[in-house]
Amino acid sequence: MSSCCEACEEFTIKDDKNDTDERYKKLAIITISGVFFVLSLIYEFFIENFLYSQIFAAIVTIVSGAEVMFYGIRKLMQKQITINLLMTIATIGAFLIGHGGEGAILMFLYYIAEFLEDYAKDKSKKSISSLMKLAPETVFVKKNEEFIEIHTHDVNIGDIVQIKPGDVISLDGIITHGSSNINEASLTGESLPLFKQVGNEILAGTINCDGYLEIKITKSSDQTFITKIKELIENAKNQKSTTEKFINKFAKYYTPIVVFLAFFIMFIIPILFQQQFDTWIYRGLTLLVISCPCAIALATPISTVTAILSAAKHGILIKGGKYIEEMAKIKTIAFDKTGTLTEGLIEVKDILSFDGAIENWFGIVYGLELLSEHPISNAIIIEAKNRKIRPLKINDFKAITGKGVSGLYNQNQYFLGNKDLFQKVNNLIPIEHELLNVQDEKSIIYFGNKEKILGSIILQDKLREESKEVIDILNKRQIRTLIISGDNKNAVFSTQKILNLNEIHYELKPDEKQNIIEQYKLKKNKIAMIGDGVNDAPSLALANVGIAMGGIGSDVSMETADVILIKDNLRDLISFLDISYKTTSIIKYNISFSILIKLAFVFLTFFGFMTLYIAVGIGDLGVTLIVILNAFRISRINFYSKKSNIGKTPLENKKCNHNNGKCMC
C-alpha cells in the first residue's frame, strides 16, 4: 500500500531531516557550552586561575551567544532595541569589569530558554501531517466492476469507493450500498457510534465499525471536512499575535536612558560645574556597571525555564513561557465533554425493571450481548459482571442492523435494542416508559419480548473521577466554566447538572466551537480551551491558552495545543494554574526588585556614595543572584495532589474488543 505521493513524501522527509539536524545542532551547542562553563567555574573558584576562567567563559559566550549578539546588533542598526541587545550589553559589560562567568551564565541560560520554546514550536509544525494521517492515503475504487487500490489524490468526485468493517474512511461521500455504525468521535466528539445507511453522508477520518459500505465520493481529497479542520488550525495560529514581553518594552527605553545618563555624568557635569573629570568618569563607569541589565534580563527566562522544567517533571508540558503568563490572566475555561470531562467510555448509568427483579432477566441480556459486536455491548457485559450475574445460553441469535439484537431462550424470543426495534415487532413502548426519553434516545436500550417491555438500560459517557472536584475548585476561584461539545443536548445538559458548570453549548462542529472562543476574545475575555480530539484543534489554536489531554488526546490536538497534560488527569489543570500564578508573581517581583535597587544605587552613585566594588558585588552580581534564587522557588511549588489511577491505563481503557480490536471505538 502506498504511503503518500512522491511530492508529499519528499517534502515531509526533507522537512523532518532539517528539523532534526537543527535540533541536534542546538543540543550540541548546549552540551559544549555546559562543559566549558563548568571548566570556567573550576578555574575561577578552585584552581584560582582568573585568566583561564575568563577564556572558558568567553568560549561559552561565543558558542551559545554568537547568534543572539549578532541579532541584537543587527536590530540596533535597524533602530530597534530588543532583549538580544540587552543580553549582548550585559554580557560584554560583565567581561569588561572582570566578571566573565556572570556574562557567560546569562547567555547560556538565555540560549536554553530559547531552545525549549523553539523546540515546542517546531513540534507544532507536524500537526498538519498528523492530521492528514487520520485518513488513509489509498482507497479501493470501483473500476469495471472491480475494486482497485489507488491514491486518494487520484480519486474523482462521483467515484464509488469500498469501505470494509474497521476501515478509517479516507474521503467524504454518500453511502450507496450497505449500512453500518460510524464512529465520529474524532470529528464531532459524539461518544456513541451513529448508524448510517444508504443516502447518509460519512466524513473522512471517521471509522466504519461493523458493516460493509460502498460510498459515492462527493469531495476531492483537498476539500474534505478534515482538510477544512486543517485550514482552521492554520488560520487560528496566524491570528495568535505574539505579545511583546514586558522586559522588551522596558529595554526599549532603559538602555538608551542609561547610556545617555552615563555620558552626561562623565562629560557634561564636569564641564558645566567645572568638576574634576577623573571623579565623574569613575562615577559614570560605576553607573554603567550598576545599570548592567543582567538581573532584569534574567528575571523572565530563568523563571519560565524553572517553571517549564518543574511542570514537565509532574507531567505538564508547557510549550513556552508566554503561556504561563497568559494562563495567570485566564478568567474563563472552556471544556470539551467527551474525553475531557468524561473518559470517552460508555458505561451503564441505571437499569430499570418493569417486570420483577432485574436479576430475573438481565442474564438473558448478558447472553445476547456476548454474541453481539455492537460497540456498547462491552459496557453491558461489564455491568453484568459487576452485578455477578451469569450469562444465559442464547439460541438463534440475530443482529438487526441499526436497531438491536434478538435471540431465543427457553424457546421464547427476546429483543434488546432501541425504540425502533420494538415498534418493528408491534410492541410500542408504554406511555409511562416514554418518560425515559428525557435522556437522549440513543443512550437508552430496551429489553423485552413480543408481549411487553421487561426493562430498560440507560447508558452514559463515564465522567472522570476528578471532574467534579476540578470544576468546584474553578468555581471557588471565580473562573467561569463552560462546555463546548459536539455531543447531543441531553448528554451535555446532564453533564452540566452533575458538575455545576456555568454555561453549555452542544451539537457543535469544529468551526462552531471556534466561533464561541472567538466571541469571548472579541469581548476582551481571556479564555483557555481544554480538549482531546481533532474537532477541538481549531479552538485550541485560537484560545489564549490551548490545553490538550495527553493520555487519550489525538496527535493533532496535542501538537496544536500550547500545553499538554501528559498524565491525562484534569487535576493537572489546577497545578498548571497554580504554577502560572506563582511564576508570574515571581517574575513581577524580580523585575520590580531589580529596578528599585538599581535606581537606589544610581542615586547613591550620583552623590559619590558608591564605589565600583560595591556596584559590582551588590548592585549587579548580588541582585542577579537574588533574582536567580527567587526564581528557583518555583521548583518548590506544591503541585495539586492526584489520586493514582486504579486499573488500566487510559489507552487500555479506550480499547474495545469489537471486531477483534480493529474498530478502535
Per-residue pLDDT for 135 more than 70? no
SS3 462: strand
What domains does the chain contain, in order, with CATH numbers?
18-125 (no CATH), 134-236 (2.70.150.10), 316-342+464-566 (3.40.50.1000), 355-451 (3.40.1110.10)
Q: Could you tell me if 530 and 467 are in contact, meaning their C-beta atoms sit under 8 angstroms apart?
A: no
pTM over 0.75: no
Residue 160 exposed, middle or buried by CB count within 10 Å (0-12, 13-18, 19+): middle
pLDDT score for 63: 93
Q: What is the pLDDT of residues 398-424, one digit of tens each?
A: 988 778 899 999 999 999 988 888 877
Is there a contact between 656 and 366 (Cβ–Cβ < 8 Å)? no
CA-to-CA distance for 189 and 554, rounded, in angstroms?
Answer: 12
Higher pLDDT, 382 or 659: 382
Q: What is the mean pLDDT of residues 14-31?
A: 76
Determine which helix (DSSP H) or strand (DSSP E) holds 132, and give its type and residue range: helix 127-132
Question: How far apart (Å, rounded) are the C-alpha atoms in residues 256 and 272?
Answer: 22
Q: How far apart are CA 615 and CA 600, in angstroms?
A: 11
Q: Which residues are catalytic?
A: 336
Q: Quick one: pLDDT band at residue 651, thresholds 50, 70, 90? A: very low
Write the CA distances from 294 to 271, 288, 330, 394, 468, integer angstroms: 32, 12, 30, 79, 45
Rounded Cα gap, residues 229 and 560, in angstroms? 12
By the 8 A CB rule, do 369 and 380 touch?
Answer: yes
pLDDT at 9 over 60: no
> Contact 163/222 with Cβ under 8 angstroms?
no
Q: Give the pLDDT band (50/70/90) at residue 242.
A: very low
Q: Which residues contact 366 (CB under 8 A, 6 or more apart)?
A: 380, 381, 384, 389, 390, 391, 392
Alpha helices in 136-276 (DSSP H): 185-188, 225-239, 246-263, 269-273
Residues 55, 42 contacting (CB under 8 angstroms): no
Residue 566, pLDDT above cutoff 70 = yes
Q: What is the chain's mean pLDDT, rounded?
A: 78
Of 87, 528, 556, whose CA–CA distance to 300 is shortest?
87
| pLDDT tens digits, one per residue of 358-379 | 888 999 999 999 998 777 888 8
| pLDDT value, residue 507 | 86
Cell of 246: 514586558
Q: How many CB atoms lie within 10 A of CB 390?
A: 10
* 108, 64 contact by CB (below 8 A): yes
Distance (Å, whole) CA 212 – CA 196: 11
Local confidence band at 644 (pLDDT 50, 70, 90 cut-offs):
very low
- Report how far apart the first and last C-alpha atoms of the chain are (Å, whole number): 24
All three cell numbers of 351 = 437499569
At 203, the amino acid letter reads L
DSSP for residue 452: -
- Segment 155-213, tens digit of pLDDT: 999 999 999 998 888 898 999 999 999 887 666 555 578 889 999 988 888 889 888 99
